[in-house]
C-alpha cells in the first residue's frame, strides 16, 4: 500500500502499569513503523481488536509479535481477548472517502463545520486541511490560518497531540495514521476511561506531556473519544499557553450530539459536575457514525437521552420522528442515526449561535433535565450513573415539576416517559438510592445555573418549547422528589 511518510509518531499512556514497555511504540523510520495492523493494513476492512493493553502480545526486543498471516512483520496488533470482560472493537475504517453531511456553526471568526460521515476516520486530516483553507491558508498555516485566534501555523513540522482513552484507542490510532500520512508529527496520549479522568490531577498530567513535547500555540489538540475525553482535552487546549486549536472527533453518541458541539469544555470538582471550565470552540468536529457500532448498549442508550432532549426543548416534529423510528434507533441504522445526529447538532448550533457564552439565558434551554441530573450524578458518584441515564431521569422530574406548576398536562410527561423507556433508558431514580430531598437540593444549589443560591429550572410549556424559571419554590421541588 506504499510507504508511510517518515514522520514522528509517538504513543504514551498515563496509567499503564509497566512504564518500561508502553502499549505500543512508533519508530521514526518509515520502513520500521510499529503500528496497529488495522491502521497500516487498512486494506483489511474488518479487524477485531481487543481494547485492553494486556491483550497485546509482546515479542522480542519490546516490539509486538503478530499472529502468522495476520499482518506483515514489524507491525503491532491486538488479538481478540481470551479472558476478562473487554469488549472487542470491530473496526471498519473505509479507505475511500464517504459521502458526508455538514452542519455549519456560524460564530464569526470562531465558525466551524460539523462533518457527519460513515466509515471515514482515515480521512480526518483531509478535513482538517480544508478547515485550514477555510480559515485562510491553503497549507494549514504559512501566513494566515487562525491569525485572529492562534497565529499562523507552519507548513512544516506541524504537531498534533491526540488525546484518547483506552477503550477507543484503535479509533485514535486510525486518526493518528491519517495525520501521519498528511505529514504531521503526532503524539497519542491515552487516559483512563470514565468521569474519574475529568479531574485536575489528570489535566495536570496532560499539561506535563505538552511541556515535554514541547507544544506551542500552533500545536493542534485532537480529542478522540467520548464526552470525558472531549471535555478534558478541550479544557487543556483552552488553558495551555492561553489557548491551543483543537478538533473534536467524538466516538460516542452522547459526545456526537452534545459535548463536542458548542465549545463548552471543563472538568469536575468533587462537589459538582463541570464546575471548572471554559468556552473554547473547536476548529471543526468530525463525526463517524460507524464507530457507534462499537459502543456498549448502555453507553449508546445514554446518548439517546440527549437526542430525545432536543425534541422536547426545540422541535416537536423531531420528537415525533424519534417516536416513529424506534426500530432504527435501537438497531443503530445508519440512515436514522445520521438524521438524528444532524438534526440534534443543527438544533444545538442554532442556540449556540445566538447565545455562545450563556449571557442571554437562551443557551440554558440546552440544560433541560440537567439540574436534577447533575445532582444525581454527584450523589451517586461520578461514573456510577451515566450522564444520559441521569438526564433521562432528570427530564422526567423536570416535566413533572412543570405539571405541578400548571405549565403542561400529564400527556407531555407521558410521551417522554414512553419514548425514554422504549429506547431502554431509566425514568426514575435507581433502586436503593438513599438520597434525601435535602441532599438533592444541596447539590442543586451548586449547579452553574443557580444564582446567589437561588435555583433555576428549564421547564417545558409544551412539547418542543421550554423556558427558564427562577421562581420555583423548593417545596415544589421536594414534592417531585
d(CA 300, CA 294): 9
DSSP for 306-372, please give it.
HHHHHHHHH-HHHHHHHHHTHHHHHTT-HHHHHHHHHHHHHHHHHHHHH-TTS-SSSGGGGGTTHHH
- Specify the DSSP class assigned to residue 56: B
Q: What is the pLDDT of residue 363?
A: 94
- The grid cell for 456 is 433555576
Q: What is the pLDDT of residue 271?
A: 84
Mean pLDDT of 160-173: 97
Mean pLDDT of 8-20: 44
What are the pLDDT digits (tens) for 213-259?
999 998 999 999 999 999 999 999 999 999 999 999 999 999 999 99
Q: What is the pLDDT of residue 81?
A: 30
Mean pLDDT of 200-211: 97
Mean pLDDT of 192-203: 95
pLDDT exceeds 80 at position 24: no
pLDDT exceeds 50 at position 381: yes
The CB-based long-range contact list for 438-444 (8 Å cut-off, 24+ gap) reads: 439/379, 440/372, 440/375, 440/376, 440/379, 440/477, 440/481, 441/474, 441/477, 441/478, 443/271, 443/272, 443/374, 443/375, 443/378, 443/379, 444/371, 444/372, 444/374, 444/375, 444/477
Mean pLDDT of 14-33: 34
What phi and psi values does residue 275 have, to the nearest 5 degrees? -75, -20
What are the pLDDT digits (tens) for 436-472?
999 999 999 887 666 666 899 999 999 999 999 999 9
Quote the percentage of the chain above a pLDDT of 70: 74
Quote the percentage of the chain above a pLDDT of 90: 66
Burial class (CB in 10 A: 0-12, 13-18, 19+), 476: middle
Q: Give the lowest-confidence range in 150-154, 181-185, 198-202, 359-363.
A: 150-154
Measure the N-to-C terminal CA separation of the chain; round to a whole number of Å. 61
What are the pLDDT digits (tens) for 387-434?
999 999 999 999 999 999 999 999 999 999 999 999 999 999 998 898
How many other CB atoms sit within 10 Å of the CB of residue 438?
A: 11
What are the pLDDT digits (tens) for 275-303?
999 999 999 999 999 999 999 999 999 99
pLDDT exceeds 80 at position 19: no
Q: How far is CA 144 from CA 138, 147, 149, 155, in A?
A: 9, 5, 10, 11
Q: What is the pLDDT of residue 23?
A: 33
Q: What is the pLDDT of residue 67?
A: 29
- What is the number of alpha carbons within 13 Å of residue 51 lying toward its C-beta? 23
Q: Give the lowest-confidence range in 57-66, 90-99, 349-358.
A: 57-66
Task: Report the mean per-residue pLDDT for the chain.
Answer: 81
d(CA 388, CA 383): 11
Q: What is the pLDDT of residue 336?
A: 97
Instruction: Identify whether the C-beta of residue 36 lies closer than 8 Å to the C-beta of residue 77.
Output: yes
d(CA 305, CA 380): 18
Nearest to 95 by CA among 139, 50, 38, 160: 38
Q: What is the pLDDT of residue 35?
A: 35
Query: Which residues does the annotation mark as catalytic?
Result: 242, 264, 306, 348, 358, 363, 367, 370, 374, 387
What are the pLDDT digits (tens) for 120-157?
999 999 999 888 766 554 344 433 334 445 544 566 78
Q: Give the lowest-confidence range in 21-25, 248-252, 378-382.
A: 21-25
Q: Kindly list the structural domains of the chain, giving each domain's residue range(s) and its CATH number in brackets, ordered by start.
A: 100-294 (3.40.50.1970), 301-480 (1.20.1090.10)
Confidence of residue 84 (pLDDT cuts 50, 70, 90): very low
Nearest to 206 by CA among 179, 171, 262, 244: 244
Instruction: Identify whether the C-beta of residue 188 lies closer than 8 Å to the C-beta of residue 164.
Output: yes
d(CA 308, CA 427): 13
Q: What is the pLDDT of residue 53?
A: 34
What phi and psi values does residue 166 have, to the nearest 5 degrees? -65, -30
pLDDT exceeds 60 at position 328: yes
Q: What is the pLDDT of residue 383?
A: 74
Amino acid at each position: 500500500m506504499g510507504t508511510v511518510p517518515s514522520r514522528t509518531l509517538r504513543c504514551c499512556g498515563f496509567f499503564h502499569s509497566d512504564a518500561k514497555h508502553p502499549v505500543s511504540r512508533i519508530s521514526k523510520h518509515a520502513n520500521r513503523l510499529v503500528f496497529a495492523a488495522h491502521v497500516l493494513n487498512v486494506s483489511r476492512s474488518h479487524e477485531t481488536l481487543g481494547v485492553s493493553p494486556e491483550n497485546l502480545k509482546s515479542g522480542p526486543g519490546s516490539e509486538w509479535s503478530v499472529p502468522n498471516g495476520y499482518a506483515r512483520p514489524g507491525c503491532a496488533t491486538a488479538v481478540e481477548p481470551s479472558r476478562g470482560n473487554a469488549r472487542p472493537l470491530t473496526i471498519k475504517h473505509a479507505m475511500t472517502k464517504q459521502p458526508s453531511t455538514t452542519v455549519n456553526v456560524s460564530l464569526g471568526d470562531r465558525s466551524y463545520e460539523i462533518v457527519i460521515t460513515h466509515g471515514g476516520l482515515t480521512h480526518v486530516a483531509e478535513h482538517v486541511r480544508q478547515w485550514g483553507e477555510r480559515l485562510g491558508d491553503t497549507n494549514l498555516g504559512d501566513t494566515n490560518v487562525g491569525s485572529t485566534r492562534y497565529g499562523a501555523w507552519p507548513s512544516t513540522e506541524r504537531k498534533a497531540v491526540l488525546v484518547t482513552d483506552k477503550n477507543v484507542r484503535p479509533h485514535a490510532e486510525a486518526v493518528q495514521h491519517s495525520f501521519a500520512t498528511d505529514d504531521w508529527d503526532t503524539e497519542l496520549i491515552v487516559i483512563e476511561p470514565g468521569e474519574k479522568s475529568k479531574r485536575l490531577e489528570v489535566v495536570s498530567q496532560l499539561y506535563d506531556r505538552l511541556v515535554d513535547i514541547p507544544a506551542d500555540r500552533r500545536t493542534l489538540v485532537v480529542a478522540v473519544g467520548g464526552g470525558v475525553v472531549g471535555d478534558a482535552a478541550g479544557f487543556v487546549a483552552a488553558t495551555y499557553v492561553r489557548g491551543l486549536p483543537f478538533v473534536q472527533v467524538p466516538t460516542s453518541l452522547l459526545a456526537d450530539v452534545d459535548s463536542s458541539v458548542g465549545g463548552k469544555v471543563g472538568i469536575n470538582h468533587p462537589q459538582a459536575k463541570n464546575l471548572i471550565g471554559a468556552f473554547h470552540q473547536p476548529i471543526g468536529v468530525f463525526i463517524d457514525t460507524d464507530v457507534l457500532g462499537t459502543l456498549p448498549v448502555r453507553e449508546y442508550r445514554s446518548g439517546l437521552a440527549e437526542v430525545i432532549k432536543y425534541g422536547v426543548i426545540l422541535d416537536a416534529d423531531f420528537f415525533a420522528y424519534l417516536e416513529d423510528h424506534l426500530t432504527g434507533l435501537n438497531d443503530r441504522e445508519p440512515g436514522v442515526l445520521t438524521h438524528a445526529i444532524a438534526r440534534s447538532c443543527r438544533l444545538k448550533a442554532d442556540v449556540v449561535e445566538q447565545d455562545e457564552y450563556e449571557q442571554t439565558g437562551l443557551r440554558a434551554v440546552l440544560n433541560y433535565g440537567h439540574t436534577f441530573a447533575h445532582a444525581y450524578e454527584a450523589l451517586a458518584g461520578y461514573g456510577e450513573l451515566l450522564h444520559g441515564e441521569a438526564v433521562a431521569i432528570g427530564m422526567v422530574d423536570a416535566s413533572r415539576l412543570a405539571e405541578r406548576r400548571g405549565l403542561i398536562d400529564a400527556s407531555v410527561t407521558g410521551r417522554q416517559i414512553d419514548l425514554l423507556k422504549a429506547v431502554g433508558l431509566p425514568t426514575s431514580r435507581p433502586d436503593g438510592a438513599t438520597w434525601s430531598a435535602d441532599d438533592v437540593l444541596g447539590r442543586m444549589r451548586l449547579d452553574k445555573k443557580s444564582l446567589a443560591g437561588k435555583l433555576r429550572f428549564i421547564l417545558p410549556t409544551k412539547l418542543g418549547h421550554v423556558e427558564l424559571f427562577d421562581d420555583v419554590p423548593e417545596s415544589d421541588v421536594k414534592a417531585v422528589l
